[in-house]
Structures are given as C-alpha cells and as structure tokens.
Amino acid sequence: MSASSAPLLQISDLRIQYGSIAAVRGVSLEVENGELVALVGPNGAGKSSLLSAIAGVVPSAQGAIAWHGESLAGKSPEDILRLGIALVPEGRHIFGSMTVEENLRLGATIRTDRGAIAAEIEHLFATFPMLRARYRQIAGRLSGGEQQQLAIARALLCKPTLLMLDEPSLGLAPIVIDQVYEILVRLRREGVTILLVEQNAARALDTADRTYVLSAGLLRLSGTTDELLRNANFDAAYFGVAEAETGTVP
C-alpha cells in the first residue's frame, strides 16, 4: 500500500507491556482522515495505553504504528506532535499556576509561524468563548469543564491533523459533558480528525462515526453505531465476557 492510499493512522498488531503485565494485546485499528473514531471499554481495557503509544509516550513491545503510511517507530513525543498528532491526556494536565493565556501559548511552542498565533487564539474564542472571559485568569481557578476546554484549545494551537482525547468527560457534570461534546462535533465538521477514548459507551456511540470496543487489552468488536447496537455481543464485548468474539461487526 502506498503512503497516499494508506489510512491517516494505522495500528497493526500492537502490544504494550508494563513488566509482566500486557496492557494491550495485539490490537489493530485504523483512523481515516476526517473521522471521529471512538475507543470504548471499561477501566483497565488498555485505551489510555494505546493513545500514549501513538503519542510516543510509552513504547510498544510489538506491532506497528503508521502515520500516512510511514512508521512512527523511534520518534519522540515532540517529533510526533510536529507531525500533527496531539494528545489531550486524561486529567487535562493544564498548568494551574499559569494564566489561561500562558497555557494557550504553550500549545504553540512547537510552531515557527509565530505571527499567526494571536490570530488563531482569537479564532478559538469563537469555539471557546469562555477563554476570552478568563484569558488573564489563573488556570487553576477554572472549573473542571473550563479546564477541559482550555486543554482542548491548547492542543488545537499545535495545529494537529489528529486530535486524541483521553476521557474528556471524566469528572464533569452532564450539562458540561454536553458542551464538550458539542465542541468535538463542531471540530469534526471543521475538518479535525478525532480519536476519542471514552468509558461512557453511550456518549461515544452517539457521537462517533465508528467505534472500537476494547476489553482486557483485546479488540472485541468494531463498527458503526448502528452495527454495534444491533450486535447481541456488544455488552459481553464491552465487559470482556469470554464468549464475546474478537473481530469486526458483520
């Protein structure tokens, strides 16, 4: 397969190991340009480990991760970020003692087009109006939902082709979760490809173009929302029950 015809992101037979513990066991998946793809499963399924491996934060023990058909093996997290893959980690990881403005500008540190940054921050205010109102405030004083918006906006200032989010709804009130997902849908419409890790399967299925179900480090099922909801094995696959078969929904 040529690089031009390859998926935007392709993971093949990936295995991630922490000592004697296998967090991810031979997972393969693809993300095409312009998609919003969800990765769902219970705690400990290997979802966060998978995103961390794509971002270069943790090494893989086996398998391959390809970006536009080219291997990411041996590349540092900064190299991968420069290629256009940005991760919003679980827990947001904003710098609480810095202002909203300072946090945002950290997202643009890898860029060389410094003159465009102020204009892009202004553009982000249309998607995240809260940031304009809080621009000079200390980020640690923001609510959880506001911090999540700041983390997403900071990642967007890296100008990613692929935005990866790890549990963006974690710890947020339902009305705030609605706001975060409205933002993700809007970003997808604007052309940002999204790979979303979410424990809340119902929320992910309601938003994603396609969803992969992981449990105990294994890919159990994959398909569109309609395919998964029609599949009698979905609940068993999500919770890793033995009779759930690994594979793709027919």
Residue 192 lies in a domain: yes
Average pLDDT over residues 112-133: 88
Task: Convert the pLDDT of each residue in 201-228 to its tens digit.
Answer: 889 999 999 999 999 999 999 999 999 9
Average pLDDT over residues 161-170: 93
Residue 73 lies in a domain: yes
Query: What six digits make up the tokens of 125?
Result: 């205010």
Instruction: From residue 140, give the alpha-carbon distance in Å to each of 19, 70, 81, 99, 136.
Output: 35, 39, 25, 8, 12
Task: Provide the domain limits for residue 131.
Answer: 9-239
Q: What is the pLDDT of residue 25?
A: 96
Residue 200 lies in a domain: yes
Residue 247 lies in a domain: no
Task: Convert the pLDDT of each residue in 63-80 to its tens digit.
Answer: 999 999 999 999 999 999
Residue 187 lies in a domain: yes
Residue 243 pLDDT > 50, yes or no? no
Asked if 110 contacts 81 with a C-beta cutoff of 8 angstroms, the reply is: yes
Residue 119 lies in a domain: yes
Q: What is the CATH number of the domain that holds 120?
A: 3.40.50.300
Rounded CA gap, 62 and 41, in Å? 22
Give the number of domains in the chain: 1
Q: What is the pLDDT of residue 199?
A: 83
Residue 2 lies in a domain: no
Q: What is the pLDDT of residue 249?
A: 38
Residue 250 lies in a domain: no
Report the relative pairing of strands 210-215 and 218-223 from DSSP bridges. Answer: antiparallel
0.75 surpassed by pTM: yes
